[in-house]
Amino acid sequence: MLYLGHFSFVGTAGHLSNEPVHGSFTCLVEATSIDGASQKLRELVKRLKRTGEGFESVKRVYFDNCVEVKRLPAQGVLANFEERSGEPLPCVSAALPGVSARACVSYGWSSADDDEAPGEMEDEEVDPFVSFRR
């Protein structure tokens, strides 16, 4: 079965700064049980820290939850939801850092009239994927 592990972390930014940082990430493993998935997730997180795949600032990792995918409903599922208060703060985001494109591929979204690839726009307003009326 597939297992999605959702984690949060705290740490410090950069070698010259002790600025606190925090965030979250999700990992995907295949295992036969939740115990096996937990072990694989622990080893994956340790490997990510050793190899520096975006984990340079990470000091402590917290296991928020794990989703066991027994069967994926045709309409899909919301696997994780996180809401924060206040204005959006600057952040760093990466999909599949260090993962071979032969194993997994990340796709972005941009409006049809954008001439820049997703993720290449800097300091520009991004069109919403979906908007709701209250």
| pLDDT of 121 strictly over 60 | no
Q: What is the average pLDDT score of the chain?
A: 86
Q: Which domain holds residue 17?
A: 2-69
| pLDDT of 41 strictly over 60 | yes
| pLDDT of 84 strictly over 90 | no
Task: Give CA–CA dist 101/82, Å, rounded.
Answer: 28
Task: Give domain status of residue 87, yes or no.
Answer: no
- Looking at the structure of the chain, the number of domains it has is 1
Task: Give domain status of residue 21, yes or no.
Answer: yes
Task: Give domain status of residue 31, yes or no.
Answer: yes
Task: Give domain status of residue 116, yes or no.
Answer: no
Strands (E) located in 13-121: 20-30, 58-69
Helices (H) and strands (E) in the chain, counts: 1, 3
